[in-house]
Amino acid sequence: MFCSKKKSSEVERIVKANDREYNEKFQYADNRIHTSKYNILTFLPINLFEQFQRVANAYFLFLLILQLIPEISSLTWFTTIVPLVLVITMTAVKDATDDYFRHKSDNQVNNRQSEVLIDSKLQNEKWMNVKVGDIIKLENNQFVAADLLLLSSSEPHGLCYIETAELDGETNLKVRHALSVTSELGTDISRLAEFDGIAVCEAPNNKLDKFTGVLSWNGSKHSLSNEKIILRGCVLRNTSWCFGMVIFAGPDTKLMQNSGKTKFKRTSIDRLMNTLVLWIFGFLICLGIILAIGNSIWENQVGGQFRTFLFWSEGEKSSVFSGFLTFWSYIIILNTVVPISLYVSVEVIRLGHSYFINWDRKMYYSGKATPAEARTTTLNEELGQIEYVFSDKTGTLTQNIMTFKKCSINGRIYVFVLAGKVHDDLGQKTDITKKKRPVDFSANLQVDRTFQFFDHHLMESIKLGDTKVHEFLRLLALCHTVMSEENSAGELIYQVQSPDEGALVTAARNFGFIFKSRTPETITIEELGILVTYQLLAFLDFNNIRKRMSVIVRNPEGQIKLYSKGADTILFEKLHPDNEDLLTLTSDHISEFAGEGLRTLAIAYRDLEDKYFKEWFKMLEDANAATDEKDERIAGLYEEIERDLMLLGATAVEDKLQDGVIETVTSLSLANIKIWVLTGDKQETAINIGYACNMLTDDMNDVFIIAGNTEVEVKEELRKAKESLLGQNRSISNGHVVFEKQQQLELGSIVEETVTGDYALIINGHSLAHALESDVKNELLELACMCKTVVCCRVTPLQKAQVVELVKKHRNAVTLAIGDGANDVSMIKSAHIGIGISGQEGLQAVLASDYSFAQFRYLQRLLLVHGRWSYFRMCKFLCYFFYKNFAFTLVHFWFGFFCGFSAQTVYDQWFITLFNIVYTSLPVLAMGIFDQDVNDHSSMDCPQLYEPGQQNLLFNKHTFFICMVHGIYTSLTLFFIPYGAFYNTVGDDGQHIADYQSFAVTIATSLVIVVSVQIALDTSYWTVINHVFIWGSIATYFSILFTMHSNGIFDIFPNQFPFIGNARHSLTQRSVWLVILLTTVASVMPVVALRFLKVDLFPTLSDQIRQWQKTQRKARPPHSRRPQTRRSSSRRSGYAFAHQEGYGELITSGKNMRAKSPPPTSGVEKTPYNSTSWIENLCKKTTDTMSSFSQDKTVKL
């Protein structure tokens, strides 16, 4: 929740520069942010209100009030108030701690310093004191404090470079440029202080890629667009300084508009328990009514005979009023069916599970010394019920590192390092550590020192002067949009708008073709130590339709050449017929590269005649000057000159996946968890990553791409996709389509068809905006849920949250969102479980998350081990807890028929108080914290074990009913076996033992032994703690029993301990022990028989694995791992531009060129290069562990 002063009816925003008084009349929000829920004054009332919204807390408060009424209470008030206050206090302390960290985070952000122009001079101000209309100075590598209108910068023409990772997850740079009229203000403080322009723009909204407005200054108006705005959360890069005017501040900024609201999250078990508490309360009312009616009848027919002995007058107490009081008395007595200790135990168990997550060394990332962290303790069992995972791409699935892995030049493959091996001349893999040395690049002073290459053939070809190899590397050094600079140490720094372009240029640089500098008319490169300047004649830029880019240059010899790179499917159509043989060979190579998940580009060139080029360039100038069909004419000219190309080869770039992503995705898919990728990246990039991590495969029946620009188009594309899917499915399955049960959704009825094939859905942000409309999202959800994989590209942070909400609301499924940037915060907050990865993009996602760790691969262990165990343990705990409390409490109900319905308790008051707190609390806690059905290795190896949690099989209304029946049966045996045995019995000494106190001790002892034996039967995984707690609790019971029935304590507290000597008297009778033994056997044996038959006749998968584990005394020998390389024929362009079109026009205009080239204060680092391949991990572990287990299980079982 954000505190804001702005008017809710704001339609447009009017901001005047350097005039706080003028802007204050609009009551715009200041720059302070609030993500906390409480303050010192509001904490107590709000927190208590939230806690008593829990049905159980309100229920116990009501019981406490009843216990304060002496006429109806047969139990003292402290039996309820002490545990209730304990639970409320524990929860309040936890909530206060969580909110303290939110306050701490808010203060850290609000107290950041920024230079603000006040009273004609720059002053340091805290971010929270920045106001709308202020002019702020930013310096290189600083975070942007608010949404600013860029006024001027240190770069030519008012340009500046920003990194938007906090907004859209992309670390590549984006360009913003100021209006020409304001860029002239420069760094002149006096002129900036006199600037009084008025900006009229759109009201605050969450659209990151759109801004409209007008700046009025000096009598003229200037249009404002998104290219003029720098948003809060961005970082200024490669720009020494810039000045901007605050347009939106604090909660009005687009970052905060997209952050979503903090929601109170509860697990499905919590919600079920609320329902069950209401059911139980209704059940107690029914029992109370039965006993109250019985009391009224008894009082009317029998009770009058006893009034003489009680000195009651005839009309003092009517039978109806007696029944009314008895009703409330029994409500108090029977309330222990749901004791407050249940909620204390639940919180303790959840806390224990959270510590197990924090302590798990297998989820500790040594690279950054980052352990996994459970940031909340209330959602652990929900981790075992996930059905949908919504994942960000950049920084979550990938490392955001582009690596040049392979290339094909003139029909020959040159390979970087592949899993520690390279191919020798015969195509055999050779161990590089023994037979190969890395190529020596010491002669190249500009080489990337982290670069290693083991294929010596490429260096030999370069040294021998292979013209094709030289031309290939020359093209990589010339055909790009990279800018270069030298820092103060003389090192060459590349400023890249696309990370894969940086990888290609860096690869050429390492092999001696070094891009040095560029001007609007020239490109200078160093070719094997010789500086060569090429005249840049034309730049044919990239866009999403062309899927290629070309440059036309004139070399020093006067030759004109066109160099082109692009998607192979596009570029191969432009080749000269003479390339047929090379085309076939290169196409095979590209298929091999693509099969390994690499992003491929085809490389080609063309020699141009001077006369032809001049004629073509004249037509291009005319097309640029045209007013009608300008774009079409330019595109046609580009097509005309980009033909008859000569193929050079292809490149293969890897968008490096995080370690273990493929295995994790495969394992989660086997666990029936659907993974949807929601990314701000372009479509091609997202598809490439989908193929790389095996979410998308070429074995899929179809991949549907939704790219409509209107609601009608989107709806039609969704309809056609569904028709195609159903049609293909029917043809594949010979017309037999299996339908799952129809689910009634709020939007209407959606029938999910279980199709026999695998399908994928890819939809971009523009289409998604229309698809999320009320009358279209029905079709979207229906199609998406029939697909194995869903990828949403170019989505805004708010759209991510909307997709999550769509599935949450209409599929009634448990969702999990995982991301690493501020653009993922709203998605993380919306999902049932939010996970933040402490990656490259700050800690915003971690601060908003419920759980955090450093690598995506840890999600597999979090869900399949910790999540499944937490759900399994919590369900077993609840089943046992309800069982033992029904058995404990309903004895009072049966006793009511034999005590005149007088609300007298069977047990003494101290036993009732201590039963759930002392006698049975620790064993059930030990089971709830430590129990396992199978070990962690089996949980990971057999992901299908996860499915019972998704289907809610272990604890639901049906299992609760079974526990209830079990408890009722046990209560019957606990009461009637001792009652029948004591009905007409004498002790060993010939004295009658059927007194009330002996009866109470016998039933209490039987109860403690029965529930202890039952939990021993329920425990699947024994530890020392289980043994100590179970058998220790029985010992504790007897020690406390004999103490409370001793003479000494009776002498001290005669009114509180009336059972003097009874334990010693009763428990020395052999008949009493025989009764206890008979009661225990009668209570336990039917359960043992039923469970034996169930495991033997209808074993679950976990039953089978437990049996399999018992047959193995030694660990299973490790299976040999074989590399699993996916071969496919699909080819994917390696372009990963974060914009719709390239920066060719910006480069050729010269707007981004400095007049001088002083060493920058700081430069963007070149695209990181790492020779380690994700295939290396794949070689280590790709064998499907489930199949190996199945084979093993077949043999063993």
Q: Which residues are catalytic?
A: 392
User: Exposed, middle or buried by CB within 10 Å (0-12, 13-18, 19+), for 416?
Assistant: buried
Structural tokens at position 1014? 């039952």
Structural tokens at position 418? 């592949």
Longest C-alpha distance within the chain, in Å? 131
Structural tokens at position 293? 């009616």
Per-residue DSSP letter, 573: G
Handedness of CA 319, 323, 325, 330 (dihedral sign): positive
Around Cβ 74, how many Cβ atoms within 10 Å? 16
Q: How far apart are CA 804 and CA 784, in angstroms?
A: 13
Phi, psi of 660, deg, nearest 5 = 80, 5
Report the first-to-last Cα separation within the chain, whole angstroms: 56
Tell me the residue type at 636: G
Give whole-number Cα distances, 409 to 265, 423, 584, 587, 647, in Å.
56, 16, 13, 12, 9
Around Cβ 352, how many Cβ atoms within 10 Å? 18
Structural tokens at position 176? 């913003």
Asked if residues 637 and 619 have their Cβ atoms less than 8 Å apart, the reply is: yes
User: Exposed, middle or buried by CB within 10 Å (0-12, 13-18, 19+), for 187?
Assistant: middle
Asked if residues 115 and 122 have their Cβ atoms less than 8 Å apart, the reply is: yes
Angle at 837 between CA 928 and CA 270, to 5 degrees: 35
Asked if residues 808 and 382 have their Cβ atoms less than 8 Å apart, the reply is: no
In the three-class reduction of DSSP (H, G, I as helix; E, B as strand; rest coil), residue 299 is classed as: helix
Pick from 262, 387, 1163: which is nearest to 812 by CA? Answer: 387
- Contacts with 649 (C-beta within 8 Å, 6 or more apart), sequence order: 407, 408, 409, 410, 411, 468, 472, 586, 589, 602, 603
Q: Which helix (H) or strand (E) holds 1102?
A: helix 1101-1110
Around Cβ 130, how many Cβ atoms within 10 Å? 22
Per-residue DSSP letter, 520: S
Pick from 96, 136, 100, 104: which is nearest to 118 by CA? Answer: 136
Question: What's the per-residue H, E or C state across 904-955?
Answer: CCCCCHHHHHHHHHHHCHHHHHHHHHHCCCCCHHHHHHCHHHHHHHHCCCCC
Q: Which helix (H) or strand (E) holds 268?
A: helix 268-301
Q: How far apart are CA 657 and CA 596, in angstroms?
A: 12
Structural tokens at position 619? 């037509």
Q: How far apart are CA 756 and CA 382, in angstroms?
A: 30
Asked if residues 709 and 766 have their Cβ atoms less than 8 Å apart, the reply is: yes
Where b means 16+ CB within 10 Å and e means fewer, 736-772 reads eeeeeeeeeeebeebeebebeeebbbbbbbbbbbbbb
Per-residue DSSP letter, 865: I
Q: How far apart are CA 635 and CA 929, in angstroms?
A: 67
